[in-house]
Amino acid sequence: MKAIAIFPKTHEVKLIDHEEPKITTPTQVKLRMLEVGVCGTDKKITSFQFGTPPAGSEYLVIGHESLGEVVEVGPEVRDIKPGDLAVMVVRHPCPHEYCRACRMGHQDFCFTGDFTELGIKEAHGFMTEFVVAEERHMNLMPRELRDVGVLTEPLTVAEKAIAQVWQIQQRLPWIDPNTSAQMRGKGLKAMVLGAGPVGLLGTMVFVASGFETYVYSRSKVPNPKADLVEEIGGKYISNETTSVEQLAEQVGNIDLAFEAAGASQIAFDVMRVLGPNAIFVFAGVPDHTVPIKVDTALLIRDHVMKNRAVLGSVNADRADFEAAIRDLGVFKQRWPQVLRSLITGYYPIEQAPQLLLGSAGGIKNVVTL
Ligand SMILES: [Zn+2]
Ligand SMILES: [Zn+2]
């Protein structure tokens, strides 16, 4: 069957013939892949910054943002049947008994580093025709979300972030843990850095949680992403025309910042103007560039004096996937056009190498199978 693979030794990215997988345990499910999203991580893998084939293989099948349709199930599969749509989790647990994170199903917090990530680290991914995996690594997707289901995985980045933020902010004695999800951001301001797919999906999450939400990104207005932000109910501000100091003056206290672009200079600039008790979440991975100068003493002083928390967040657990699927339903009701327009291009698998190696514009490009 067809697959897109990278060959780290020869630095090739190409369409290959890959052996079709078979169900080998009673609890496995076989999926026909429908769509696979392409993101910055894939670009880093196809430019050989990272990405590791499984042991014994000279290549890695890439793709981790999946949407598939079930074609076959093992005899002990209970909750999934042929015809169902499903999205797969990306990270699988490490084998170590002492890794409490993995043993509890929270491999996104694995502390041994010996986890695998499908399409990224030591396990083949989804940019291929069929995939077999254990039922417990799949999340069911309602049929009515077929057209946007491939956005689940990028959405989990923001879902994990907000779940963490909510837990951490329980430190504030006046926060009522029983507040409904839609009211948690009421009266608070969120600042999203970057207007790529994760930034825009994050904007939806924060607006839907009641935050007054701003997006601070490069392109000057007017631009199509700024229009999307406004349609979601956020406010777009360009960092080309508004300095961080002007931003702080315009917005007032920032309670939550979500960095989804991997832009390190802007991140540290915005960190300077966070409000009291604020949280800054790093979710983007920057390219390694020349070091920048930061006034560390000032930054530390302000973090101490204002009780701020800085958090890194990677990957997602099952609850985050479930939250993402639930929220896609909410977003589809609330912003049907905007949600659809996040997917800006569909490419057949034969064209995937050009897509991965080129500089296709748009927001989220998707490989169809
Ligand atoms: Zn991705
Ligand atoms: Zn682990």
Closest CA to 27 of 100, 79, 90, 92: 79
Tokens of 254: 């920032």
Q: How far is the CA of 66 from the centre of ligand 1 (A)?
A: 10
Q: Cα separation of 269 and 267, whole Å? A: 5
Ligand number nearest CA of 118 is 1
CA of 322 to the centre of ligand 2 (A): 21
Ligand index nearest the alpha carbon of residue 44: 1
Q: What is the pLDDT of residues 11-46, one digit of tens each?
A: 999 999 999 999 999 999 999 999 999 999 999 999
Ligand closest to the CA atom of residue 119: 1
Residue with tokens 């998707």: 366
pLDDT recorded at residue 290 = 85
CA of 7 to the centre of ligand 1 (A): 19
Q: Give the ligand whose atoms come closest to the C-alpha of residue 102.
A: 2
The count of other CB atoms within 10 Å of the CB of residue 121 is 22
Give yes or no for a contact between 210 and 183, defined as CB atoms under 8 angstroms apart: yes
Q: pLDDT-derived band of residue 287, with 50, 70 and 90 as boundaries?
A: confident
Give me ligand 2 centre to Cα 51, in Å.
19
Mean pLDDT of 62-73: 98
Three-state secondary structure string covering the chain: CEEEEEECCCCEEEEEECCCCCCCCCCEEEEEEEEEEECHHHHHHHCCCCCECCCCCCCEECCCEEEEEEEEECCCCCCCCCCCEEEECCEECCCCCCCHHHHCCCHHHCCCCCCEEECCEEECCCCECEEEEEHHHEEEECHHHCCCHHHHHHHHHHHHHHHHHHHHHHHCCCCCCCCCHHHCCCCCEEEEECCCHHHHHHHHHHHHCCCEEEEEECCCCCCHHHHHHHHHCCEEEECCCCCHHHHHHHHCCEEEEEECCCCHHHHHHHHCCEEEEEEEEECCCCCCCCCCCCCHHHHHHHHHHCCCEEEECCCCCHHHHHHHHHHHHHHHHHCHHHHHHCEEEEEEHHHHHHHHHCCCCCCEEEEEC
Tens digit of pLDDT for each residue in 105-131? Answer: 999 999 999 999 999 999 999 999 999
How far is ligand 1, taken at its centre, from the CA of residue 305, in Å? 36
Residue 360: pLDDT band (50, 70, 90) is: confident
Q: Are 69 and 63 in contact (CB under 8 A)?
A: no
Distance from the alpha carbon of residue 41 to the mean position of ligand 1, in angstroms: 6
pLDDT at position 73 over 90: yes
CA distance 140 to 35: 15
- Residue whose entry in the numeric block shows the structure tokens 């915005």: 270
Residue 25 CA to ligand 1 centre (angstroms): 28
- Residue 191 CA to ligand 2 centre (angstroms): 32
Token match 């103007």: residue? 273
pLDDT at 115: 98
Residues 215-268 have pLDDT tens digits of: 999 999 999 999 999 999 999 999 999 999 999 999 999 999 999 988 889 999
Residue 289 has pLDDT above 90, yes or no: no
Q: Please enumerate in sequence order all residues whose Cβ is within 8 A of that of 304, keeping only pairs 6 or more positions apart, or say none.
A: none
Ramachandran category for residue 113: left, alpha or beta (phi over 0 → left; psi -120 to 50 → alpha): left
User: Ligand 2 centroid vs 337 CA: distance in angstroms?
Assistant: 40
Q: What is the pLDDT of residue 359?
A: 85
The CA 362 to ligand 2 mean position distance, Å, reads: 36
Residue type, 200: L
What are residue 112's phi and psi, to 5 degrees? -95, -20
Bridge partners of 189? 212
CA-CA-CA-CA torsion for 173, 176, 181, 187, nearest 10 degrees? -60
Which residues sit opposite 37 in a β-bridge? 65, 366
Ligand nearest to C-alpha 125: 1
pLDDT at 72: 98
Whether the pTM exceeds 0.85: the reply is yes
Which ligand has an atom closest to residue 43 CA?
Answer: 1
**Contact assessment for residue 159 and residue 205, using Cβ atoms and an 8 Å cutoff:** yes
**Ligand lying nearest the CA atom of residue 62:** 1
Query: From the CA atom positions of the chain, what is the Rg in Å?
Result: 21
Average pLDDT over residues 312-338: 97
Ligand sitting nearest the alpha carbon of 94: 2
Q: How far is the CA of 7 from the centre of ligand 2 (A)?
A: 27
